Structure 1
Amino acid sequence: MTQGKRILITGAGSGFGRGAALRLAGRGHHVIAAAENRPQMTELIQEAQQRPHGQLHADLVRPGHQFQREALHH
């Protein structure tokens, strides 16, 4: 896999999406992670900060509001 790709992952707050976000960021990719649950996204950011490689940008998406989102930075 080529490093440095930009990857968007929805459902990154838990399960497969969370694991994929952390793994891909750890491989040096720029990951844009989106989910609806603030506590889960906060935990994702904290875990990503402990890893040495990659970038993770987290967006909190509000249900029913397609274009309203809140950026949570890593």
Structure 2
Amino acid sequence: MATKVVTPMTISSDDLATFFWLMPHRVSIMAYWNALKLWWKNVPFFDHPREENPSYREYVIPLDGKMQYGTIWR
């Protein structure tokens, strides 16, 4: 089985433009594909902690200060 050597001369600018134009679409399709596979396997969905615990904000603001991540959303 012979291999094909790819040189810059064999790749046209149209091929590169098409490739880079399709890349964001491929990423989003793969994200949905993985979500579909998880749904098919009946993987449970967990809510964000702030939806489960109303005092979540009071819990994380001191932690944010300790980690020094910057802005406290108000």
Task: Calculate the TM-score normalised by the size of structure 1.
Answer: 0.25
Q: Identify the structure with the greater helix proportion.
A: 2
Higher strand share: 1
- Greater relative contact order structure (CA < 8 Å, 6+ sep): 1
